C-alpha cells in the first residue's frame, strides 16, 4: 500500500513535533527564572511524543522548579509523563534555548503542583552553572485589586516568553486550596509559570482558566504549596532512562546540525544536506526533517520526508503514485507532473497553484525508500524564493548504495510488550519509524499488493472499556464501524498464545466506485493495554489471503506466562457461514449468529435461500426476544425448558419434537394460534404470518380494530417501522431463512 504522499499539503505547514529551538548567547546571569517545559511520553517503539507544554519557575540555584501537575501528567493513563525538556530564556526578545532536560521529583494532583529538577548537564554534556531563581518562601498575602504580572509561554503568545499584567479580583477554593482570580490575559501554555506581585515577589502559580468570555484566570496562592515544596526538595528526580536518552539524542543532533550547518542520516539511504546561512533546522525525525529561512520576511521552508517500504519502489509503486496524483490533478487546472533528474537521480516533480502559492513536491524513488521534498513559493516572491530554495535542493544527496529491501523484514520482536510475529513468504514487516500514530508498533505488506496492509497496534485501555467483558467490547466496537459496513464474522472469545480477546471481520465500501474492502480486527487484552492486529484489503484479495493471515496469527508468540500459552483459537476469520458471502442479508445473518439466535448446518452452510418453517421461525423470534431480555437484565427472560413437561394443545406437536417447548410456551401466552387443533410446524411461514408472530412476541402495539384482510394492520406497522426489505411486500410470500433473519434483526435492533 502506498503510504503518505507529500503533495497533499495545500497550504504548506508542518506541525513541530519538538519545541522551538534557538542557539542564542547563554548568559546565565541574565537568564529568566520562568522557563518553558515540554512533557514527553515514551512510546513502545522507543520514540518519544510531545504530549503538552507549559511553564515552570526555578526556585533553587541547582535547578529545582515548580510547575503544574497537569503539565507533567498523562491524564489518559493517570501517571506522570516520562521525560521533560526545559527551555531557558536569556533575552526576552529572543526564543528560549531548548537544550536542557529534567526529571520529576514529586507531584500533587489535588493541589495541581509538581516539582521537577533540571539535570546537571545539558544535552551537549556541558555542566549546568548556578541558575537565577525566585524564592518560594516569600510570605506575601495576595490582596484584591493589587497589580500582578504573569510570566509564561502561552501557546497564543508567540515563541518568546510573555509577560502579562492585570489585577486580583477575588478568590475561590478548589480541592481545599485557595486560588486567586485575575483578569490577567494568559492561556494553557502559561500553566505552571510565575505570578509576581507589584513588588516583584513570587506569590503564585497560574493554573486555571474558567472561560474566555469571563476573561478570568486563576493562580494558586504559593503559600498553599510552601510546606509541600520544602518537604520534597530533599528528594532526587526520577525518570524514564530510555525516554530521557531519546530526548537528549533528538535535541543534541538538532543543535549539532545547526552548529555544523549540515546534517547526514546514519541510516539508509544516508540522506545529507547543507544548511545555508540564514537557514535553520527546526525538526529532525527518523523519517524526515524541516528547515526554513530564519528571521527573513517572506522566507521559504522545505520539508523532507523518507518513506520506508519493505520492497523496492518499482513500476507497481510508481503506478500507484500516478493514481494518487490523478485524484489531485482534476482539482487544479494548472497541475503539472513531469519526470525530472534530481541531482543525478530519476524523480517526479508535481506542482500546482493554491491561492497565492505555487506548491512543489518532488518524489525520488531510491531502492526501498521514496524520498519526498515539499515546498511552496509565493507568486509575488518567485525569483527570490526559488533562488533560496535551490541552494538547499542542490546540496541534498543520497549517500548509500541502492538496496532493494531491508535486510531484516520477516519477524518483528518487541520487548515491551513482549511478543513476536513472523510473516509468511511474500510478506514483510517493519517497526514504525515515526512517533505518529502513537499506538502503531509495526506495519506489514504483501509484495505487489498495493491495496492491503497489516497494522500492529498497542494502546492503553480507557477505564470505561476495561470494566467491560470481551463480548461487551466487541458489541461496542461493532456499533461504530460506519453506516456502509457489514459485519461478516465476530468472535468474542479468542485466544492467541495466552492472550484472550475478540475478533471482528467486516465489509465496507472503499474509496473507489463499487470497491468492496474487508477488515479484520483482532483485539488482545493485556492488562491495561490492548494489542491489536488489523488486516485491511480488497475483499477478493482478503479471501485469497486467509491462509497467510492464519499463518501470521499462529506465529504470534507472547512472552508472558499464561495458562493458555500455545493455544490459538480464533474461529472463522471470514464469513461464519460458507454460503452467505455477498448475500444482501449477510450482515443480519452474522449479527444474529453472533448472539446464537440463528445457527447453520454441520457442513458450515446457512442455506439462506431455503424456505423457513413456522416452527423454526417461531424459535428464532422467541430466542431473539429472550436474548433481548437477558441483555436488559430485567429478569424477564424465559426458561423454555420449563415447558417440556406441559402438554401441547396441538395434535401435530409431539412430546419429543425439538420445537415443542417453543410452541407450547407461545400457545400458553396467546402468541400463536392453530387451525383445527393443529399448529402445522413444518408448513412454510409467509410474510403475513411472520409479521404477526414478531409483533405479538415483541409486544409491538398495532391498531386494535378489524382490518380486511386480517394481516393489513401488521403490514401497516411493518411499513411504519421500516423493517420490510425492498422487494418483499407480498403478504403471501413464503419467506426464506435469510429474509426471516433480516426481519427479526431489524426489530431486535429497534427494540434494543
- Percent of the chain having pLDDT more than 90? 69
pLDDT at 2: 54
Predicted confidence at residue 209, as pLDDT, reads 63
Residue 255: its H or E element: helix 241-260
CA distances from 283 to 263, 288, 304, 373, 536 (A): 12, 8, 10, 15, 32
Question: Higher pLDDT residue, 87 or 9?
Answer: 87
Lowest mean pLDDT among 249-253, 471-475, 550-554: 471-475
Dihedral angle at the C-alpha atoms of 16, 17, 18, 22, nearest 10 degrees? -20
Q: DSSP letter for 686, please.
A: B
- Whether the pLDDT of residue 609 is over 50: the answer is yes
Question: Which triple of cell numbers denotes residue 199?
Answer: 513588588
Per-residue confidence (pLDDT) for residue 1, from 0 to 100: 53
* Cell numbers at 250, concatenated: 533528538
**What CATH code would you report for 411-574?**
3.40.1000.10
Tens-place pLDDT, residues 709-740? 999 999 999 999 999 999 999 999 999 999 99
Considering the chain, what percentage of its residues have pLDDT values greater than 70?
95
Considering the segment(s) 31-253 as one domain, its CATH architecture is: Beta Barrel (2.40)
Residue 615 pLDDT exceeds 60? yes
Measured CA angle at 286 (ends 281, 288), to 5 deg: 50
Greatest CA span in the chain, whole angstroms?
A: 106
More confident residue, 322 or 108: 108
Question: Which strands form 279-285's sheet, in the order they lie side by side?
Answer: 279-285, 288-293, 301-308, 369-378, 357-366, 345-354, 336-342
Grid cell for residue 171? 478568590
Long-range contacts of 74-79 (CB under 8 A, 24+ apart): 74/41, 76/460, 76/462, 77/460, 77/528
**Closest-CA residue to 79 (of 229, 238, 186):** 238
Return d(Cα 422, Cα 432) in angstroms, integer: 16
pLDDT over 60 at 39, yes or no = yes
The predicted pLDDT at position 385 comes to 95
Residue 444 pLDDT more than 60?
yes
pLDDT at position 24, please? Answer: 47
63 close to 103: Cβ distance less than 8 angstroms: no
Q: At what angle do helices 737-751 and 586-594 cross, to 10 degrees?
A: 60
CATH 2.40.10.120 residue window(s) in the chain: 31-253
Which has the minimum average pLDDT: 226-230, 299-303, 592-596, 689-693? Answer: 592-596
pLDDT attached to residue 213? 52
pLDDT at 698: 95
Is the confidence at residue 210, as pLDDT, over 70? no
Q: Determine if the peptide bond prior to 417 is cis (ω within 30°).
A: yes
Architecture of the CATH domain 261-398: 3-Layer(aba) Sandwich (3.40)
In the chain, where does the domain assigned CATH 3.40.1000.10 lie? Answer: 261-398, 411-574
Strand 288-293 to strand 301-308: parallel, antiparallel, or no bridges (unpaired)? antiparallel
Distance CA 504, CA 488 (A): 8
- Please state the rounded mean pLDDT for residues 304-330: 89
pLDDT band at 8 (very low <50, low <70, confident <90, very high): very low
- Phi and psi at 82, nearest 5°, equal -95, -35
| pLDDT tens digit sequence for 44-79 | 999 999 998 999 999 999 999 999 999 999 998 999
Amino acid at each position: 500500500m502506498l503510504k503518505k504522499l507529500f503533495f497533499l499539503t495545500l497550504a504548506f505547514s508542518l506541525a513541530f513535533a519538538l519545541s522551538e529551538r534557538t542557539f542564542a548567547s547563554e548568559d546565565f546571569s541574565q537568564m529568566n527564572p520562568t522557563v518553558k517545559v515540554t512533557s514527553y511520553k515514551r512510546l513502545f517503539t522507543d520514540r518519544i511524543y510531545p504530549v503538552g507544554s507549559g511553564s515552570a519557575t526555578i526556585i533553587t540555584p541547582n535547578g529545582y522548579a515548580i510547575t503544574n501537575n497537569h503539565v507533567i501528567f498523562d491524564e489518559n493513563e493517570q501517571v506522570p509523563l516520562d521525560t521533560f525538556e526545559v527551555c531557558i530564556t536569556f533575552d526576552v526578545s529572543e526564543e528560549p534555548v531548548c537544550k536542557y532536560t529534567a526529571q520529576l521529583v514529586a507531584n500533587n494532583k489535588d493541589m495541581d503542583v509538581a516539582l521537577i529538577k533540571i539535570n546537571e548537564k545539558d544535552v551537549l554534556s556541558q555542566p549546568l552553572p548556578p541558575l537565577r531563581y525566585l524564592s518560594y518562601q516569600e510570605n506575601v498575602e495576595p490582596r484584591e485589586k493589587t497589580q500582578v504580572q504573569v510570566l509564561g509561554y502561552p501557546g497564543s503568545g508567540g515563541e518568546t516568553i510573555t509577560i502579562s499584567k492585570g489585577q486580583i479580583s477575588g478568590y475561590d477554593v478548589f480541592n481545599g486550596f485557595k486560588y486567586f482570580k485575575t483578569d490577567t490575559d494568559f492561556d494553557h501554555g502559561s500553566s505552571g509559570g510565575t505570578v509576581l506581585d507589584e513588588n516583584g515577589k513570587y506569590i503564585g502559580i497560574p493554573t486555571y482558566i474558567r472561560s474566555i468570555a469571563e476573561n478570568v484566570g486563576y493562580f494558586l496562592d504559593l503559600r498553599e504549596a510552601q510546606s509541600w515544596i520544602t518537604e520534597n526538595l530533599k528528594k532526587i528526580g526520577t525518570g524514564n532512562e530510555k525516554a530521557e536518552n531519546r530526548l537528549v539524542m533528538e535535541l543534541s543532533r538538532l543543535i549539532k546540525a545547526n552548529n555544523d550547518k549540515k546534517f547526514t542520516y546514519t541510516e539508509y539511504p544516508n540522506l545529507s544536506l547543507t544548511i545555508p546561512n540564514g537557514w535553520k533546522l527546526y525538526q529532525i525525525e527518523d523519517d524526515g526533517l524541516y528547515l526554513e529561512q530564519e528571521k527573513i520576511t517572506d522566507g521559504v521552508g522545505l520539508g523532507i520526508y523518507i518513506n520506508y517500504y519493505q520492497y523496492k519502489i518499482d513500476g507497481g509503486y510508481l503506478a500507484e503514485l500516478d493514481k494518487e496524483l490523478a485524484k489531485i490533478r482534476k482539482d487544479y487546472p494548472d497541475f503539472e507532473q513531469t519526470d525530472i533528474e534530481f541531482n543525478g537521480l530519476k524523480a517526479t516533480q508535481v506542482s500546482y497553484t493554491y491561492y497565492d502559492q505555487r506548491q512543489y513536491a518532488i518524489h525520488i524513488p531510491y531502492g526501498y525508500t521514496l524520498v519526498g521534498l515539499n515546498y511552496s513559493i509565493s507568486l509575488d516572491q518567485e525569483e527570490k524564493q526559488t533562488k533560496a530554495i535551490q541552494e538547499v535542493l542542490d546540496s541534498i544527496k543520497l549517500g548509500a548504495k541502492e538496496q532493494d529491501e531491508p535486510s531484516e523484514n520477516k519477524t518483528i520482536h518487541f520487548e515491551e510488550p513482549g511478543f513476536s510475529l513472523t510473516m509468511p513468504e511474500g510478506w514483510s514487516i517493519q517497526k514504525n519509524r515515526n512517533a505518529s500514530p502513537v499506538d502503531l508498533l509495526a506495519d506489514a505488506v504483501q509484495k505487489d499488493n498495493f491495496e492491503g496492509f497489516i497494522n500492529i497496534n498497542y494502546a492503553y485501555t480507557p477505564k470505561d472499556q476495561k470494566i467491560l467483558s470481551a463480548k461487551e467490547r466487541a458489541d461496542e466496537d461493532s456499533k461504530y464501524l460506519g453506516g456502509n459496513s457489514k459485519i461478516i464474522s465476530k468472535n468474542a472469545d479468542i485466544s492467541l498464545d495466552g492472550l484472550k480477546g475478540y475478533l471482528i471481520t467486516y465489509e465496507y465500501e472503499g474509496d473507489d466506485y463499487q470497491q468492496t474492502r474487508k477488515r479484520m480486527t483482532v483485539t488482545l487484552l493485556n492488562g491495561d493495554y490492548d494489542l491489536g492486529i488489523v488486516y485491511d484489503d480488497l475483499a477478493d484479495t482478503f479471501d485469497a489471503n486467509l491462509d497467510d493471515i492464519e499463518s501470521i496469527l499462529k506465529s504470534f508468540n507472547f512472552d508472558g506466562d499464561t495458562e493458555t500459552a500455545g493455544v490459538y483459537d480464533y474461529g472463522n476469520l471470514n464469513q461464519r457461514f460458507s454460503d452467505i458471502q455477498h448475500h444482501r442479508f449477510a450482515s443480519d445473518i452474522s449479527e444474529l449468529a453472533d448472539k446464537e439466535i440463528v445457527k447453520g448446518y454441520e457442513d458450515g452452510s446457512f442455506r439462506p435461500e431455503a424456505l423457513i418453517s413456522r416452527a423454526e421461525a417461531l424459535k428464532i423470534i422467541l430466542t431473539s426476544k429472550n436474548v433481548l431480555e437477558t441483555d436488559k437484565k430485567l429478569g424477564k427472560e424465559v426458561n423454555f425448558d420449563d415447558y417440556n413437561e406441559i402438554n401441547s394443545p396441538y395434535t401435530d406437536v409431539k412430546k419429543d419434537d425439538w420445537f415443542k417447548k417453543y410452541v407450547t410456551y407461545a400457545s400458553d401466552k396467546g402468541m400463536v394460534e392453530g387451525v383445527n387443533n393443529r399448529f402445522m410446524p413444518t408448513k412454510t411461514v409467509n410474510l403475513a404470518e411472520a409479521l404477526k408472530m414478531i409483533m405479538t412476541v415483541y409486544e409491538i402495539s398495532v391498531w386494535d380494530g378489524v382490518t380486511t384482510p386480517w394481516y393489513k394492520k401488521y403490514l401497516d406497522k411493518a411499513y411504519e417501522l421500516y423493517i420490510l426489505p425492498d422487494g418483499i411486500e407480498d403478504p403471501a410470500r413464503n419467506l426464506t431463512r435469510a429474509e426471516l433473519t433480516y426481519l427479526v434483526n431489524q426489530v431486535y435492533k429497534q427494540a434494543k
